[in-house]
Amino acid sequence: MTRDPIIRLDHVTKDFRAKGVTVHAVDDVSLDIGRGEIFGVIGYSGAGKSTLVRLINALERADSGRITVNGTDLAGLGEKGLRDLRAGIGMVFQHFALFSSRSVADNVGYPLTLAGWDKKRKQARVEQMLDFVGIADKAQAYPSHLSGGQKQRVGIARALAHSPEILLADEATSALDPHTTEEVLDLLKRANQVLGTTIVVITHEMGVVQHICDRVAVMEQGRIVETGDTYDVFARPADPVTRRFIQTALRSRPSPDTVGRLHSAHPGRLVVMTVTSDSLDSEAFNLARIAQSLDVSSSIVHGSITEVANRPLGNVVVEMTSALPAGDGERAIDALLERLSRDGISWTDLGTADHPLDDPSWTDLDQKEDLR
């Protein structure tokens, strides 16, 4: 469990009833979010992540369970207490939710007006915030004259104006193009590093998690199916849903179609090897040398490696062949794979062109779909 959690959810449940059907939007969720970290909650739409984040600033009230923010149990708060709590938590929205009738400066100054700041102090703070998000020249513009990225910068400046300890970002980049997404994510990261704001990021894009999150929770049907350090979750995803997200983010593991094409081009034994920062350090990754010593020749036929949380991660497909007679050759390749396992390198055997094997990380997913 996290040391010094700023947000703690303990067996929290929230149901919605519509047309006689009960939806468990948040189903027995326990979670600790540490002070000063960027925590991601990822899930498909309808997974309950937006409800989850709204429980934290009590825009939604939990049906059962305990939510503590900064040591305060939310259940004990009345209307006034809730308003104070919310004033200390910034929130950024997917569609920005700016006040179109107010200028950029007035939007950013709004939470300060609520907090009763005097005009001069407010003005100084607004300038400072607009400067921080890099749109100081737009102070007097109205939101409708801004691009999506600029609007979200205003949204972030507004959310941070009152120096909240926590920032909730609900799909903050989902309405933005990839380039703008990156800029906004960098801005969030800077807020975290410079201002020390704890950030909870809700997203359906693993790329967002990959880019800025320290830790991540994967949510499905109201439940948290997996949680951990971003790199660990990416490198060793346990749940099929997580694997699917990572697949779409990294696109490094060959799909069954790709494997089919690889088999037709490369008749030998194909093996997917997962490349992590650990495996790169491992001596066994000097594959060619080890393979040679076992009379196996290996060549990389497919793969990609990227960075997750500033560490390398990816998959490579290696074709292994042996000049030895058929039976001995197979045994030599098996020995090589065993050696890799011993060195902590995870691999998946895709078989040969004549005897192809399925990649369980794909078939898992199909089975899980069938169960639905």
Partner 1 sequence: MTPLENTWNDWLTQTFWTRLGETLSMVSATLLIGGLLGLALGLTLFGTRRGGLIENRPVYAVLSVIVNVVRPIPFVIFITAVRPATIAIMGSSIGTIPAIFPMVIVCTVATSRIVEQSLIATDPSIIEAGRAMGASRTHILFRILVPEALAPLILGYTFLFVGVVDLSAMAGVVSGGGLGQFALSDGYRKFNDLVTWVAVAAMIVLVQCVQLIGNGLSRWVLRRR
Interaction site with partner 1 (CB under 8 A): 57, 59, 82-87, 89-91, 93, 95, 97-102, 110-111, 114, 142-145, 158, 162, 168
C-alpha separations of 276 from 173, 257, 280, 340, 343 in Å: 28, 24, 6, 13, 12
Q: Cβ closer to partner 1: 83 or 289?
A: 83
Q: Cβ closer to partner 1: 93 or 285?
A: 93
- Please, what is the end-to-end C-alpha distance for the chain in angstroms? 31
Q: Cβ closer to partner 1: 163 or 341?
A: 163
Q: Cβ closer to partner 1: 52 or 241?
A: 52
State the minimum distance, in angstroms, from the CB of residue 214 to partner 1. 23
State the minimum distance, in angstroms, from the CB of residue 101 to partner 1. 4
Strand partners, 268: none
State the minimum distance, in angstroms, from the CB of residue 139 to partner 1. 15
Q: How far apart are CA 60 and CA 64, in angstroms?
A: 12
Q: Cβ closer to partner 1: 49 or 86?
A: 86
Q: Compute the CA torsion angle 219, 220, 223, 224 (nearest 10 deg).
A: -30
State the minimum distance, in angstroms, from the CB of residue 95 to partner 1. 6
State the minimum distance, in angstroms, from the CB of residue 160 to partner 1. 12
